[in-house]
Amino acid sequence: MTLNTFFIIYQIIHILGFPLILVYLFTRPVRGKPTFGNFIQRMGFLPKVSNNKKTIWLHAVSVGEILSIQSLVRDIKKIPDTICYITTGTVTGKDMALKKLDADYVSLISFDFLPAMILAFKRINPRSIIIVEAELWPNLLCLANFKKIPTYAINARMSQRSFRRYKVFKRFLSPLLNTFKKLYVQTKDDESRYKNLGASRNKISPLGNLKTLNVLEKVDHEKALPVKTIYPTILVGSVHPGELEIYLKLFKTLKKEVFNLKLILAPRHFHWKNALVKKINEYDLKFELWDEKHTSNNDATSAQQSLHKNDLLLVCKLGTLFDLYQISTIFCLGGTFVKIGGHNLLEPAVWSKVSLIGPYYQNCKMIADQLEEVNGLIKTNNEKELIRKVRYLIKNPEITQSMEFNAASWLKSEAQNVKIQLADLLNELKEI
């Protein structure tokens, strides 16, 4: 199938399905679903670029993707006479972009209706387009191709489950994937899946995980002066309801064997703060609570002072966890002993920390598998195994240090590979 044929079919589908699409959009609030944000922007009336500088348009769907491109945006801003224009698919993504990215323009992306997308192109007037994690917006990609605007996908990934689903539509996806000038994929598996869906081999280039470079540069840009670990400390990040007692029992058990052992608990969300406090009191632990009222010039140093007087530090404050990795001995990832699927494993690795996870890690499987392969992470199947593994690491510091080195080395190697590939992309953007 040619791209022109696909484009015509896609417009016919939109025309026939337009009434259903309207019903879907306008009933979302009734069904308790998030609204689509600024309707004016969604219809293509985006902030208009007001000068003749070269505009690079980056689209990142939501918060995770926005945070992954902080380093890339900084590098783009260094290109002379260049405007960095960010679009995102969610209101929270837009808020995060305004807060974390040094972009010239930030807005929601328009609906992928042809009139709205044509208007969006006219107002942005991009010289090149970068799409994070290969979101396939057919009208966006087709218009860019027709206008001869080079389009790049970075950090592109595809799970086995998505691949099986997309394979059914290979005839339609193949011309769309080949509108990209370059597909920078995360892994060899992603490379194979995109090829099997019809993407040209010469368009695919292995990048690695963009987030490894971003988190490495985050340490360089944001960390305070290094703080040494004084006490053997277990840090548990992103704790969810249903797994709190697992970590409290772990601590109480090992505290009998390691008298100066300390625990830092950081829940993923803070709506259950009172329940956390109640449960910790039931375990008769001396603790300090950090919430939004807590202020400190250096969270790591302040945490050390708190742990000198307490068994446990409960952190219910945004933006604090990142600095606390450096004073921990062992990191346990929350959301892996309940069916949430886990969260960020790159941050502990960048601080040279061993991570332990439970049986539910589907959200971070790729990174978990890679860290396990280099002996920088331990997977556990149940509470007893978790206690046994943590005990082993605490009582064998030389093993812990070796695993810490492995985790940090893996992350730095991945980040370096990403940096090399991005340098090629940035050089190309300069010439467009």
Lowest mean pLDDT among 29-33, 347-351, 381-385: 29-33
Torsion angle of C-alpha atoms 281, 286, 292, 293, degrees rounded to 10:
110
Lowest mean pLDDT among 5-9, 21-25, 267-271, 277-281: 21-25
Q: Does the structure show a pLDDT above 90 at 296?
A: no
Per-residue confidence (pLDDT) for residue 57, from 0 to 100:
98
pLDDT digits (tens, 9 = 90+) for 8-31: 999 999 888 878 877 877 777 676
DSSP state of 33: P
Q: Does the structure show a pLDDT above 90 at 107?
A: yes
Report the distance separating Cα 185 and Cα 332, nearest Å.
Answer: 29
Q: Which CA distances in Å does 425 have to 86, 199, 205, 330, 342? A: 17, 19, 11, 37, 31
Q: Does the structure show a pLDDT above 70 at 430?
A: yes
Per-residue confidence (pLDDT) for residue 293, from 0 to 100:
82
Per-residue confidence (pLDDT) for residue 32, from 0 to 100:
66
Per-residue confidence (pLDDT) for residue 34, from 0 to 100:
60
> What are the residue ranges of CATH 3.40.50.11720 in the chain?
3-207
**Confidence category of residue 188, pLDDT binned at 50, 70, 90:** confident
Q: Does the structure show a pLDDT above 90 at 230?
A: no
**Confidence category of residue 202, pLDDT binned at 50, 70, 90:** very high
> What are the residue ranges of CATH 3.40.50.2000 in the chain?
219-412
1's enclosing H/E stretch is none
- Top pLDDT among 319 and 344 is at 344
End-to-end CA distance of the chain: 29
- Top pLDDT among 257 and 31 is at 257
- What three-state secondary structure class fits 322? helix
**Confidence category of residue 221, pLDDT binned at 50, 70, 90:** low
**Confidence category of residue 63, pLDDT binned at 50, 70, 90:** confident
Report the distance separating Cα 16 and Cα 388, nearest Å.
Answer: 60
pTM (whole model) above 0.85: no
Closest by CA to 418, choosing from 106, 205, 198, is 205
Helices (H), strands (E): how many in the chain? 19, 14
Class of domain 219-412: alpha beta
**Partners of residue 108 on adjacent β-strands:** 88
Class of domain 3-207: alpha beta
pLDDT digits (tens, 9 = 90+) for 368-381: 999 999 999 999 99
| Overall average pLDDT of the 190-202 stretch | 93
Per-residue confidence (pLDDT) for residue 106, from 0 to 100:
96
* DSSP assignments along 367-405, one per residue: HHHHHHHTT-EEE-SSHHHHHHHHHHHHH-HHHHHHHHH
